Amino acid sequence: MIEVRVNGRPCPVPEGSTVAAAIARADVVAFRRSVHGRPRAPLCGMGVCFECRVTIDGRPQSLACQTPCRDGMEVATE
């Protein structure tokens, strides 16, 4: 297992997990808010829809479903 932090909370995940999986394991439902403020979460799971955009290690608009977790990674949703 490796550990990432989702919105500041430690979240252990199996090696090879995506950031999207880590967010789901942390029981966070909304990955981002839409233009009108509605909660959104991954749709396509393969880097097409951009619904899973989150901030990863300070870099905004990163695709959670396409990014493998690395130990110590900081993930922020919404």
Residues that bind other proteins (CB under 8 A): 13-14, 16-18, 20-22, 24-25, 29-31, 34-36, 38-51, 53, 61, 65-68
DSSP E strands in the chain: the ranges are 2-6, 9-13, 32-33, 39-40, 53-56, 59-63, 74-76
Query: Least Å distance between CB 53 and other proteins?
Result: 7
Our CB check for other proteins shows the closer of 3 and 46 to be 46
Residue 40: helix, strand or coil by DSSP?
A: strand
Residue type, 76: A
CB of 37 to other proteins, least distance (A): 9
